[in-house]
Amino acid sequence: MFANLINESSQKQLTVKVGFSWTEMFFGFWTPVFRSDFKWAAILVLAEILFGSFTWGGGAFLVTLVFAFFYNRLYVKDMVAQGYKPADKVSADILKSYGYI
């Protein structure tokens, strides 16, 4: 499911994914990098290195699997904090139903 966000001051519009992040599960820290979300990319890289080094890489997969359940929520909340708002009523209803706003 997708929702549209708009920043009223810059008129920039984003389409964001809501729910489980399949891209995060398959691509790990690259998902936040491609979304220019460098704060969460750095946190994810550090977590993957930390947990992966103790488990010969298995912990890094576990980190991406767990992070996939809540990364989209974190991303949307960061965008809302930067001034983005739902672009329409349908997007607002979707974000409210998932507890993002």
Alpha carbon distance 57, 12 (integer Å): 39
Is position 101 within any domain?
no
Give the strand pairing for 12-17 and 84-86: unpaired
pLDDT tens track for 12-53: 999 999 999 999 999 999 999 999 999 999 999 999 999 998
Is position 12 within any domain?
yes
What percent of the chain has a predicted confidence (pLDDT) above 70? 100
**Section 48-65 average pLDDT:** 90
Is the pLDDT at 80 greater than 90, yes or no? Answer: yes
Per the CB < 8 A criterion, the answer to whether 86 and 92 are in contact is yes
Is position 50 within any domain?
yes
DSSP three-state, residue 82: coil
Confidence of residue 56 (pLDDT cuts 50, 70, 90): confident
Question: Residue 66: its pLDDT value, please?
Answer: 94
Domain extent for 56? 1-96
Question: Residue 45: its pLDDT value, please?
Answer: 95
Question: Residue 4: its pLDDT value, please?
Answer: 95
Q: How many domains does the chain have?
A: 1
Alpha carbon distance 31, 8 (integer Å): 25
Tokens representing residue 22 in the block: 């399949």
**Section 65-87 average pLDDT:** 94
Predicted TM-score (pTM) of the model is 0.88
Per the CB < 8 A criterion, the answer to whether 5 and 84 are in contact is yes
